[in-house]
Amino acid sequence: MVSGVYRPAEASRAMKSLIGAFAVASAICAAAAYGQDDQTGFDPDVTRADVEAAYTLLRDHHPAGHPDLGDDAFRHRLEQARATALERAGQVTALAGHHAVLAGFAVSMHDPHIAAAPIGARPEMRWPGFLAGYDGGGFYVSASTVDALAGGERILSCDGRSTDQFAQGSIGTFNGVWAYRAQRAKQAVRLFIDQGNPFIDYPQRCTFARDGREFDVALSWRAAQGAAFRRAASQAQARGSRAPGLNALPDGGLWLRLPALDQGGFDLVEGAAAYQDRLRSAPYVIVDVRGNGGGNSQIGDRLADILGLPDLRLAPRASTAHWRVSADNLAQMRTYLDFGHLSDAFKDAMRDVIAEAEIALTTGQSFVPALPDGFAPAAEIAPPQPDPATARVFILTDHYCFSSCIMMVERFRRGGAAHIGGETDVSTRYMEIRGQVLPSQTVQLFTMQKVDLGSPPELGPHIPSIRFEGDWSDEAAVHAFAAEVIAARG
């Protein structure tokens, strides 16, 4: 690859992206770094208090918690999540169980934005010397220090349960939404990491398959710490280069790497604007968003404009966005005026919303702007799938594409960009994440503050027209895949 056109400094932390808040990689490494020796004697009443605080946060501050919005499914899930969490709370005797109860509460809401992130000391972890990955063929060994497992073996069953059954009751209950393939892929690394969750029975023996041969391995659980574990965790979660940049290819095409919609992404896109003519005249442009967990959706919109992609979304989002009014949400809204990578137009609009919300807080109005009369949820209409054989712009995704990245894929596809690579995650019409520390000071719960009535209840998953089935961390393989897609255009 020829050295590029423009390359900014290393990306900074995202404003609202979950990548910065509770990425799987950082959580695992942090937990490995400090375990608490004495985890017993935890008061279940502390857990109950946190559950009630989490329930109140979503009921009184999340847009869907208000009956006027009419999201009956959300409010039903919220009641069920509270009941299940309070039942589990009675079995808590240690910090690990406390964390598990809050994690299960969050996962039950079926929105990956809503999450429970541990604060401070975390339970010591164990692993059996290997970690798992997930692809279209199911679960497999993604990294191993066990002599009997070289890596790549399919994990068929454990202790008489299919691997799917084990996973659904563990990571599909306490880490991610099982129904979404991208969530399984993201959370697979946790499948064989024991964090002391008392509601999971970790296996003692598993059946694997390699080269058509099945064999059993007895699992030897040991402390998840040290260089060997960190290397395995890094290998299991590798997702390619994290450095943003715009590079020229030998045949005149351009490769734009945008791993996050944060300050680094903003700098890249603003720098790329100087090359707008070249970006629009190049025979093709590949926008590589591997690992992009979202952030500021305006960055994706700005890039689409630079590339000349028309905005053919079903409704302009600004005109259909409504904020849930609460004192805590209003405080968070005020902080957005301090972020440098938000446009002046956004900040001006934000000041108007803040002024309106301040009045609404005193009058008892629940949303700003006020909800329209007789509104109905937007229809779920998948964005078109432009033909890679005729497209000039390509957007390359993996299963980490989430939140504003999913919105970006929709904008690009509706504007004529071909979608290649991997299936995206799933998001919802709820926006603007906010975290609140629960009373125990051991968990932060994340909620949303705004609803886009112009969006369907769920966004995604977006399925690519051509799938990449290889190793996402193998830069050469990813580039070879893209080259094959381009060559097939004829």
Phi-psi category of residue 364: left, alpha or beta, with phi > 0 → left and psi -120 to 50 → alpha: left
pLDDT for 104 equals 98
CA angle 305, 309, 312 (to 5 degrees): 105
- Cα 99 to Cα 89: distance, rounded to the nearest angstrom: 10
Decide if pLDDT at 347 tops 70: yes
Decide if pLDDT at 3 tops 50: no
SS3 state at 38: coil
Decide if pLDDT at 213 tops 80: yes
Give the closest residue to 142 by CA, choosing from 127, 160, 124, 125.
Answer: 127
Distance of CA 391 to the CA centre of its chain: 28
Phi-psi category of residue 214: left, alpha or beta, with phi > 0 → left and psi -120 to 50 → alpha: beta
Helices and strands counted in the chain (H then E): 16, 23
**Dihedrals φ, ψ of 404, to 5°?**
-65, -25
Looking at this protein, which amino acid is placed at residue 426? V
pLDDT tens-digit profile of 286-332? 999 999 999 999 999 999 999 999 998 765 555 689 999 999 999 99
CA angle 305, 308, 310 (to 5 degrees): 75
pLDDT for 382 equals 79
Report the mean per-residue pLDDT for the chain.
90
- Cα 459 to Cα 475: distance, rounded to the nearest angstrom: 28
Decide if pLDDT at 8 tops 70: no
- Cα 188 to Cα 236: distance, rounded to the nearest angstrom: 9
Count CA within 13 A, CB hemisphere, residue 433: 29
For residues 436 and 21, the model is more confident at 436
- Cα 268 to Cα 244: distance, rounded to the nearest angstrom: 7
User: Could you check whether 126-224 and 245-433+450-487 share the same CATH topology?
Assistant: no
| Dihedral, 144, 149, 155, 160 alpha carbons, nearest 10 | -110
The DSSP bridge partners found for residue 223 are: 126
Tokens of 333: 């809204």
Q: Where are the domains of the chain?
A: 38-123, 126-224, 245-433+450-487
Least confident of 125-134, 345-354, 362-371: 345-354
- Cα 324 to Cα 431: distance, rounded to the nearest angstrom: 11
Q: Give residues with Cβ within 8 angstroms of 70, minimum separation 6.
A: none
Q: Give residues with Cβ within 8 angstroms of 164, minimum separation 6.
A: 138, 139
Decide if pLDDT at 212 tops 60: yes
The mean pLDDT of 330-359, rounded to a whole number, is 90
Least confident of 41-45, 213-217, 268-272: 41-45
Decide if pLDDT at 146 tops 70: yes
Percent over 90 (pLDDT), the chain = 80
Looking at this protein, which amino acid is placed at residue 53? A
- Cα 225 to Cα 127: distance, rounded to the nearest angstrom: 9
pLDDT for 27 equals 53
- Answer yes or no: CATH 3.40.50.2300 is held by domain 245-433+450-487: no
pLDDT for 314 equals 65
CA angle 241, 431, 351 (to 5 degrees): 110
For the domain spanning 126-224, the CATH number is: 2.30.42.10
SS3 state at 128: coil
- Cα 227 to Cα 200: distance, rounded to the nearest angstrom: 26
CB-based contact 98:440 (threshold 8 Å): yes
CB-based contact 296:266 (threshold 8 Å): yes
CB-based contact 174:193 (threshold 8 Å): no
pLDDT for 304 equals 98
- Cα 99 to Cα 83: distance, rounded to the nearest angstrom: 16
- Cα 407 to Cα 32: distance, rounded to the nearest angstrom: 34
pLDDT for 454 equals 86
pLDDT for 341 equals 67
pLDDT tens-digit profile of 147-171? 999 999 999 999 999 999 999 999 9
Phi-psi category of residue 12: left, alpha or beta, with phi > 0 → left and psi -120 to 50 → alpha: beta
Looking at this protein, which amino acid is placed at residue 192? F
The DSSP bridge partners found for residue 36 are: 123
For residues 157 and 469, the model is more confident at 157
- Cα 375 to Cα 385: distance, rounded to the nearest angstrom: 29
Sign of CA dihedral 414, 258, 139, 34: negative
At residue 14 the predicted structure's pLDDT band, cuts being 50, 70 and 90, is very low
**Which residue has tokens 């979660």?**
237
pLDDT for 317 equals 52
Tokens of 343: 């446009």
Decide if pLDDT at 9 tops 50: no
**Which residue has tokens 């059996």?**
128
At residue 381 the predicted structure's pLDDT band, cuts being 50, 70 and 90, is confident
CA angle 448, 450, 455 (to 5 degrees): 110
pLDDT tens-digit profile of 36-64? 444 567 999 999 999 999 999 999 999 99
Decide if pLDDT at 473 tops 70: yes
- Cα 148 to Cα 170: distance, rounded to the nearest angstrom: 25
The DSSP bridge partners found for residue 144 are: 130
Least confident of 35-39, 75-79, 273-277, 357-361: 35-39
